[in-house]
Amino acid sequence: MHRHFVLFKPYGYVSQFVSETRKKKVLGGFHDFPEGTMAIGRLDEDSEGLLLLTTDGKVSELVRSSKVEKEYYAQVDGVITDEALQQLQQGIAIRTEKEWHQTKPCRVQRLKATPELPERARRIRDERHGPTSWITLTLKEGKFRQVRKMTAAVGFPTLRLVRVRIGNIMAGGMAAGEVIEVGSFDLG
């Protein structure tokens, strides 16, 4: 019988259970996960938020597909403009490892207030270094460091990135490092 978990990945951890170098912090210390548990999709070391874990490879394929929305909160450097938001919504060319990729249209909005999120282990910076703003982006694709590349391409580099939703699964109220075992994933 397969097992499924929801984790709020903290800043500074990689989305894997074994590290090639002992210097990387891995997910195994958060819970006694069964053998064969895998992260569905990835969040890079500098990103935080919702990460689904499973022992079922078929569920992993579904979550990573373009059928399931992923929502992120991004704190960006500067006060993001309406023009930049529109460019992000329409799709933008970003560089992947070997080629250029045109991102698909997505939903992007400016957040009116700073979202309530777990305290980050390492501070970003404070207002003395200039203003920042928060946006929400909802995507159905996920290239390597895509959100960071998209915001940088429109002139507003990402300072903090937090995945808050995958399908119908929300991270609301979870603490950094918290793990919840679930019977199945309600992806909507």
**In the predicted model, what is the mean pLDDT of residues 150-178?**
95
- What pLDDT, on the 0 to 100 scale, is given for residue 71? 96
CATH number at residue 19: 3.30.70.580
**In the predicted model, what is the mean pLDDT of residues 126-140?**
87
- Grade residue 130 by pLDDT with cuts at 50, 70 and 90: confident
In a domain, 186, yes or no: no
- What pLDDT, on the 0 to 100 scale, is given for residue 182? 93
pTM, entire model: 0.92
- Grade residue 181 by pLDDT with cuts at 50, 70 and 90: very high
- What pLDDT, on the 0 to 100 scale, is given for residue 152? 96
- Quick check: 139 pLDDT over 90? yes
- Grade residue 69 by pLDDT with cuts at 50, 70 and 90: very high
153 residue type, one letter: A
- What pLDDT, on the 0 to 100 scale, is given for residue 47? 95
- Quick check: 127 pLDDT over 70? no
pLDDT tens for each residue of 21-42 = 678 888 988 999 999 999 988 8
Number of domains within the chain = 2
Structure tokens at 38: 């895998």
Task: State the Cα–Cα distance between residues 96 and 93, nearest whole angstrom.
Answer: 10
In a domain, 38, yes or no: yes
- What pLDDT, on the 0 to 100 scale, is given for residue 164? 97
Question: For 10-24, 103-117, 134-148, which range has the lowest pLDDT when averaged over its residues?
Answer: 10-24
Residues 38 and 83 in one domain: no
Question: For 17-31, 66-80, 81-95, which range has the lowest pLDDT when averaged over its residues?
Answer: 17-31
In a domain, 187, yes or no: no
In a domain, 175, yes or no: yes
The angle formed by the CA atoms of residues 106, 66 and 109, to the nearest 5 degrees, is 20
- What pLDDT, on the 0 to 100 scale, is given for residue 21? 66
Which residue segment(s) compose the domain that 29 sits in? 4-65+170-181
Residues 39 and 87 in one domain: no
Q: Which of 44, 56, 77, 126 is catalytic?
A: 44
User: CB within 8 A of 51, min separation 6: which ones?
Assistant: 6, 7, 8, 9, 15, 27, 39, 40, 41, 43, 163
44 classed as catalytic: yes
pLDDT tens for each residue of 2-15 = 999 999 999 999 98
CATH number at residue 129: 3.30.70.1560
pLDDT tens for each residue of 38-64 = 998 889 999 999 999 999 988 888 887
In this structure, is the dihedral angle defined by the CA atoms of residues 120, 122, 127 and 132, taken in order, positive or negative?
negative
